[in-house]
């Protein structure tokens, strides 16, 4: 992996200064390091969710909590809406990569086009997330600090659990407070983690808009390279990646 | 717009000035968006998109229909494996990490692999605490609130 420490006749010593040993620019490398730190932050949040969940004897079932779809009223469509959200975000990742690809070839027109689609995808995702939040709060009464009143009737939260499991049924019948506590924690974690992720999507959309304006103004054409598009693309893909893990932890596992 | 001519300007001047010329190998200024090379790269991008879509669909179908009939540990293993697979594709192809120098790839991946150890440790901790609370003789006198 490391080049020879004795400088060859053709190249400088790779680690001798004056060049990037990994042949990657400072800006791009630092974006990667920032993404690593952000990955650890999200990881910490997801791990604390997992630990709390493993610590509970019962936990809300994703298939029960997330079964609504916009404009479909009372129909029972578990996980369909969140699959749509995942699809939208992955699509926007694809358009982002196509923008970066166009940037490698200095094609301003296509960079503009694909970056615009990425921004639209991001806004669509945020809209979906906003609907999900509004629905969970309006229909299920979920939010930070919900389900803490011991006098809450069991019917308010029993719908979140998989009643086919005997152990779950037992707990809800004998010690419903435990189920309520789990529901409370579930919503705390859900809104925190998806909120933190949503903030990243929002900032990603804003960054993309700023870079799009720069592209349209010809800043990068003048500079001679579209590396800024690539760097902001890395952030966008990271946002997509985090969603893939959040989706798995909250909706699948 | 190729800038491979580093010979008339010293590396030092480039390092302190317009750094883009230092990395002309990576930010190579190709000119033809319609070349075969370019078209192949685009094809690869769309191929990975379809792979990601299929994996996601498999995950959702599993989650909706199969998760209740299979042992939980197996289902979870599948979900995690598929998720890591998706992540691998996104990182190596979409984020172009697969095209970087091996040293740089390791710089990014090794901390994340160690992070997996972190995940396992904490989840095991949570599970252990539950087991401990249920079975510890020291807690037998507490009314079994956690069943």
- pLDDT at residue number B142: 64
Tell me, yes or no, whether A6 lies in a domain: no
Residues A161/A140, Cβ–Cβ less than 8 Å: no
Return the C-alpha torsion angle A135, A139, A144, A148, nearest 10: -170
Domain count across chain A: 1
| Mean pLDDT, range A17-44, rounded to an integer | 88
**CB–CB of B15 and A175 under 8 A?**
no
- pLDDT at residue number A200: 96
Tell me, yes or no, whether A3 lies in a domain: no
Tell me, yes or no, whether A63 lies in a domain: yes
- Min Cα distance A25 → chain B (Å) is 7
B143 pLDDT more than 80:
no
Tokens 């969710």 sit at which residue? A49
Residues A90/B52, Cβ–Cβ less than 8 Å: yes
Q: Is B10 helix (H, G, I), strand (E, B) or coil?
A: coil
- The ipTM is 0.74
- Min Cα distance B53 → chain A (Å) is 7
Tell me, yes or no, whether A98 lies in a domain: yes
Taking alpha carbons only, the member of A123, A116, A89 closest to residue A211 is: A116
Smallest Cβ distance to B102: which of A1, A171, A237?
A1
Tell me, yes or no, whether A1 lies in a domain: no
b/e burial code for range A37-67 (CB count within 10 A of at least 16 → b): ebbeebbebbbebbbbbbbbbbbbbbbebbb
Each residue of B28-37: pLDDT tens digit?
556 666 778 8
Average model confidence (pLDDT) across chain A: 86
Q: How many CA atoms lie within 13 A of B119 on its CB side?
A: 18
Q: Which residues, other chains included, contact A77 with Cβ-Cβ below 8 Å and sequence gap of 6+?
A: A67, A68, A69
- pLDDT at residue number A155: 81
Return the residue of B nearest to A168 by Cα.
B147
Polymer length of chain B: 147
Task: Give rounded-to-5 percent helix, strand, coil for chain A.
Answer: 70, 0, 30
Q: Which secondary-structure segment (H or E) carries B111?
A: helix B102-135
Least confidently predicted of A67-76, A159-168, A219-228:
A67-76
| Mean pLDDT, range B26-49, rounded to an integer | 77
**CB–CB of B27 and A104 under 8 A?**
yes
Return the residue of B nearest to A108 by Cα.
B33
Smallest Cβ distance to B42: which of A12, A20, A98?
A98
Least confidently predicted of A32-41, A55-64, A66-75, A216-225:
A66-75
The whole-angstrom separation of Cα B54 and Cα A2 is 39
Return the C-alpha torsion angle B103, B106, B111, B116, nearest 10: -170
**CB–CB of B31 and A105 under 8 A?**
yes
Interface contact B83, partner A, CB < 8 A = yes
- pLDDT at residue number B15: 56
Residues A160/A61, Cβ–Cβ less than 8 Å: yes
| Mean pLDDT, range A82-88, rounded to an integer | 89
| Mean pLDDT, range A27-40, rounded to an integer | 93
pTM of the model: 0.83
Tell me, yes or no, whether A4 lies in a domain: no
Taking alpha carbons only, the member of B34, B36, B25, B33 closest to residue B2 is: B25
Smallest Cβ distance to B20: which of A86, A110, A223?
A223
Q: Which residues, other chains included, contact B144 with Cβ-Cβ below 8 Å and sequence gap of 6+?
A: B134
The whole-angstrom separation of Cα A168 and Cα A178 is 10
Taking alpha carbons only, the member of B89, B96, B93, B95 closest to residue B56 is: B89
Return the residue of A nearest to B73 by Cα.
A253
| Mean pLDDT, range B24-47, rounded to an integer | 74
| Radius of gyration of chain B, Cα coordinates, nearest whole angstrom | 25
Tell me, yes or no, whether A15 lies in a domain: no
Q: Which range marks the domain in which residue A66 is found?
A: 26-252
Average model confidence (pLDDT) across chain B: 77
A207 pLDDT more than 90:
yes
Tell me, yes or no, whether A33 lies in a domain: yes
The whole-angstrom separation of Cα A59 and Cα B126 is 14
Which one of B26, B102, B143 makes the best mutation probe of the A interface by having the most chain A beta carbons within 10 Å?
Answer: B26
Place A117 in a pLDDT band, splitting at 50, 70 and 90. very high
The whole-angstrom separation of Cα A19 and Cα B31 is 26
The whole-angstrom separation of Cα B59 and Cα B51 is 12
Angle between helices A108-140 and A176-217 (to 10 degrees): 160
Q: How many CA atoms lie within 13 A of B79 on its CB side?
A: 24
Q: Chain B partners of A25 at a C-beta cutoff of 8 Å?
A: 19-20, 22-23, 26-27
A215 pLDDT more than 80:
yes
The whole-angstrom separation of Cα A135 and Cα A158 is 18
Return the residue of B nearest to A231 by Cα.
B95
Which one of B18, B27, B53, B92 makes the best mutation probe of the A interface by having the most chain A beta carbons within 10 Å?
Answer: B27
B135 pLDDT more than 80:
yes
Does residue A172 come out as left (phi exceeding 0), alpha (psi in the -120 to 50 range) or beta?
A: alpha
Higher-confidence residue of A201 and B21: namely A201
Smallest Cβ distance to B20: which of A21, A100, A225?
A225
Distances (CA, A) of B60 to A87, A136, A158, B48, B79: 12, 20, 24, 18, 9
The whole-angstrom separation of Cα A46 and Cα B124 is 14
Q: Chain B partners of A223 at a C-beta cutoff of 8 Å?
A: 20
B23 pLDDT more than 90:
no
**CB–CB of A50 and B104 under 8 A?**
no
Count how many pairs of residues, chain A against chain B, have C-beta atoms within 8 Å.
187
Residue A219: give its domain's CATH number. 1.20.120.80
**CB–CB of A170 and B87 under 8 A?**
no
A74: which DSSP letter? Answer: T
| Mean pLDDT, range A39-44, rounded to an integer | 93
């Amino acid at each position: 992996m490391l080049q020879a420490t004795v400088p060859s006749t053709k190249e400088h010593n790779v680690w001798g200064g004056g060049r990037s040993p990994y042949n990657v620019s400072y800006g791009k490398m630092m974006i990667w390091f920032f993404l690593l730190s952000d990955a650890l932050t999200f990881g910490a949040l997801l791990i604390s969710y997992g630990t709390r969940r493993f610590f509970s004897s019962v936990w809300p079932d994703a298939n029960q909590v997330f079964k609504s779809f916009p404009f479909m009223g009372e129909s029972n469509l578990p996980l369909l809406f969140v699959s749509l959200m995942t699809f939208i975000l992955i699509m926007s990742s694809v358009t982002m990569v196509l923008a970066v690809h166009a940037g490698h070839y200095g094609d301003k027109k296509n960079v503009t086009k694909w970056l615009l689609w990425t921004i639209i995808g991001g806004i669509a995702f945020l809209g979906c997330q906003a609907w999900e939040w509004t629905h969970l709060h309006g229909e299920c009464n979920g939010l930070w600090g919900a389900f803490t009143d011991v006098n809450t009737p069991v019917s308010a939260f029993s719908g979140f659990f998989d009643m086919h499991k005997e152990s779950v049924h037992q707990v809800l019948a004998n010690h419903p407070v435990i189920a309520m506590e789990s529901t409370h924690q579930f919503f705390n974690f859900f809104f925190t983690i998806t909120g933190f992720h949503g903030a990243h999507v929002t900032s990603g959309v804003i960054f993309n808009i700023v870079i799009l304006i720069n592209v349209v103004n010809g800043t990068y054409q003048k500079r001679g390279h579209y590396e800024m598009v690539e760097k902001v693309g890395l952030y966008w893909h990271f946002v997509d990646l985090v969603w893939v893990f959040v989706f798995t932890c909250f909706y699948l596992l | 717009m190729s800038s491979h001519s580093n010979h008339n300007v010293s590396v030092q001047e480039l390092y302190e000035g317009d750094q883009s010329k230092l990395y002309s190998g990576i930010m190579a200024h190709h000119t033809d968006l319609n070349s075969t090379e370019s078209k192949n790269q685009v094809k690869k991008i769309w191929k990975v998109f379809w792979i990601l879509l299929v994996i996601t669909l498999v995950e959702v179908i599993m989650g909706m229909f199969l998760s209740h009939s299979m042992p939980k540990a197996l289902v979870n293993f599948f979900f995690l494996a598929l998720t890591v697979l998706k992540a691998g594709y996104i990182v190596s192809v979409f984020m172009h990490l697969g095209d970087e120098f091996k040293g740089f790839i390791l710089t990014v991946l090794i901390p994340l692999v160690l992070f997996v150890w972190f995940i396992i440790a904490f989840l095991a901790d949570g599970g252990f605490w539950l087991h401990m609370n249920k079975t510890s003789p020291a807690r037998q006198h507490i009314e079994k609130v956690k069943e």
